[in-house]
Structure 1
Amino acid sequence: MAQRSAISDDLQQAAEHGRVCALAAQGQRDLQRCLTAHPDLFAEGPFDGALTSTIALVTAFSAPWCAAAELRLTNRAVLWVFALDWQVDRLATSAAELDRLVQGQLRVADGEPPSADEPLQRFLAALHDDLAAAPAFDRLGGAWRAAARRSLLAMRQEWQWKTAMGDDLRARPSLAEYLDNADNLASTLVNVLQWIRTGAAETEAALDRLVIVSDAVQRALRLVNDLSTYERDLRWGDLNAIMLVDDRSVVEQELKRLVAEATDLLEELRVDCPREAAYLTRQLGYTTGFYRSTDFWGVS
């Protein structure tokens, strides 16, 4: 009987994993359609099937209780973040060019129409229009605009730090300053979009608190990412927390502190917002496990 029970448990667990993977597969197919529909934005190479798969997987495993339609906009928002990050880090060659990019995205995030010759603006405008159709957007649209502004300005700040450090290592930020700029990761921005799109009344009432907890998780994820991608960042000339300290162990200890801080906040949040706490907890856990073996970007 005990053996039969164990087999039954394994079957149920495998079936649940299969269901979540199917949810991710539906998300990936939608993202692949986005790549096909915007060839001028999603260049072959960095934006491949593996990238769309990893995006869809992290979203599905973070919110496995959602239907595919409820995650479609969130997946597309993550894809937009990757496209934006690529343009900021890899394509922008001057401060003036970067400012034009950031200001254009800010205008579209505020609801202004995109420029016809700017594919990234057009993609964001479609996201904005879909989000604006959500019933809660009239009340929570300000939170979306604030999160978008924070992320865009944080990406610009990191570019400025990186560029200045190329000429003078004394221009590097402190680790604390770097973590204060963790909005460049844009996970809170995506989370706000997800909560506006799918949140219940209690989620709406707690949105300010959810953003605070999401920011704590975001800071931890910033270091999870950096500890795993240091070699790639060296090759690409990107900024990484390990470059800002004398010893990698400083970053490792700071990550432990940030995870403990986020865990405490998540425990408190679970009392009033159990699903949102589970979403953030699963996001942190999944990403930590993912980065132990690979990276979102597949480009060497």
Structure 2
Amino acid sequence: MTRPLGDLALPSAAQCVPVTVLALKVLADLRSWAAEHPQVLGATPIEALAISTAAISPWRGANELRPAARMYVWAYALDDHVEQNVRSLDELDDLFGRCEAVVRGGARDDSHPLLASLSGWQSDLERAPHYPKLAGLWGDRFAEALRGERYDWTAGLARDRGEGPSDPQEYLTYAASSNAWITHFPRWATSDRDDLLESLPLLDSALEAIEVAVRLSNDLATFERERAEPGQNNILMYDTSPAWVQDELDRYARTAREQLDPPATAGFAPAVELLRLLDWSVTFYSGADFRGWGSDRDPTGESGAPVTTRS
């Protein structure tokens, strides 16, 4: 039962237990995986990502959520590496080309910890029930996310030189850099529902709209930090206002809800999961971002370590 506290209707303590236990199980796995690749995964916000994974899909088991949770961590690690360590476009394109080769071809690449961790993850994902029929879509959307990351990197570099882009519609065409699609996809590959594939066009369209909403909600949450950091690319750097961004966010969120409400009302779990992804992400970013909550904190000081990441 819910317990009112002022204007809040809070779930009972007992109702919180299943999600809490699930989050702890997911966290235990992420800690083990991060220990295997500490150079790139060790400073990611695994605690916040474990909680996020569990809150979006509370009816799933921890083993079933492992691929999604690990992709959350890997995507954050990729963001960090690109923003903190990549020094040239050639270096970036080489890394991204190798990532795509792992995803599309399945060949293992141990030339960098990011590639080694992705290789193991990809090998595990290929055993998922629906993966064979979704492999082409996965490869295409993964490449789209990397193009978004590339755009952000080149735009941030140009902005540091006073030459950054100014068209917000151009920015939105690269919203896949939010990584919402690639981090949610493992839930489809591991689903046990045979009717998921029949509804894939609707789910894919809704997730693309959610991807933009997540990108914009993240931008609103992180702008004050990012405006003082080099190499950043945020919608509020495109001659826009917070009100305009919020209106666009609401429009994309409304589009996704209109698509998903009918199947969700009918009890179609993949649609419910997408609505929970949207609600969780937008609500979370309205009060915080994922940084500085645990493993990525600076153990020598009061605040989070000085990172330059968009997520």
Pair 1:209–1:28, CA change in 2 (3 A): same
> Is there any run of 5+ residues in structure 2 with no aligned partner, and where?
4-8, 293-304, 307-311
Letter in 1 for 2:186: L
2:273 — aligned with what? Answer: 279
Q: Which moved more, 1:195-204 or 1:272-281?
A: 272-281
1:135 deviates by 2.5
1: CA distance, partners of 2:192 / 2:215: 25
2: CA distance, partners of 1:190 / 1:282: 14
1:236 — aligned with what? Answer: 229
1:203 — aligned with what? Answer: 196
1:244 deviates by 0.7
- Whether contact under 8 Å (2:138, 2:185) holds in the other structure is yes
1:246 deviates by 4.1
1:206 deviates by 1.7
**TM-score, structure 2 length as denominator?**
0.86
1:173 deviates by 4.2
2:146 — aligned with what? Answer: 152
1: CA distance, partners of 2:150 / 2:99: 12
Q: Which moved more, 1:27-36 or 1:266-275?
A: 266-275
Pair 1:96–1:288, CA change in 2 (3 A): same
1:209 deviates by 2.1
2:30 — aligned with what? Answer: 31
Letter in 2 for 1:37: E
State which of 54, 61, 72 in structure 1 corresponds to 2:66.
Answer: 72
Pair 1:246–1:180, CA change in 2 (3 A): closer
- Whether contact under 8 Å (1:154, 1:181) holds in the other structure is yes
Letter in 2 for 1:181: Y
Letter in 1 for 2:17: G
1:187 — aligned with what? Answer: 180
2:296 — aligned with what? Answer: none
2:86 — aligned with what? Answer: 92
1:42 deviates by 2.6
2:156 — aligned with what? Answer: 162
1:72 deviates by 0.9
Give the aligned CA root-mean-square deviation in angstroms: 2.1
Pair 1:245–1:199, CA change in 2 (3 A): farther
> Is there any run of 5+ residues in structure 1 with no aligned partner, and where?
none
1:167 deviates by 2.1
- Whether contact under 8 Å (1:111, 1:125) holds in the other structure is no
**TM-score, structure 1 length as denominator?**
0.89
1:256 — aligned with what? Answer: 250
- Whether contact under 8 Å (1:143, 1:192) holds in the other structure is no
2: CA distance, partners of 1:11 / 1:234: 36
1:14 — aligned with what? Answer: 13
1:289 deviates by 2.3
Q: Which moved more, 1:276-285 or 1:12-21?
A: 12-21
2:40 — aligned with what? Answer: 41
2:301 — aligned with what? Answer: none
Pair 1:114–1:6, CA change in 2 (3 A): closer
1:6 deviates by 7.2
1:226 — aligned with what? Answer: 219
Instruction: State the secondary structure of the residue aligned to 1:245.
Output: coil
Q: Which moved more, 1:266-275 or 1:138-147?
A: 266-275
Offset from partner CA, 1:4-61 (integer Å, 9 cap, x none): x878xx9984322111111001001111111211122235xx42xxx11111111111
State which of 151, 174, 184 in structure 1 corresponds to 2:167.
Answer: 174
1:208 deviates by 2.6
Pair 1:212–1:242, CA change in 2 (3 A): same
The sequence identity of aligned pairs, in percent, is 28
- Whether contact under 8 Å (2:30, 2:70) holds in the other structure is yes
Greater percentage in helix: 1
- Whether contact under 8 Å (2:144, 2:176) holds in the other structure is yes
1: CA distance, partners of 2:188 / 2:107: 24
Instruction: State the secondary structure of the residue aligned to 2:289.
Output: coil
1:281 deviates by 1.2
Are 1:104 and 2:98 an aligned pair?
A: yes
1:291 — aligned with what? Answer: 285
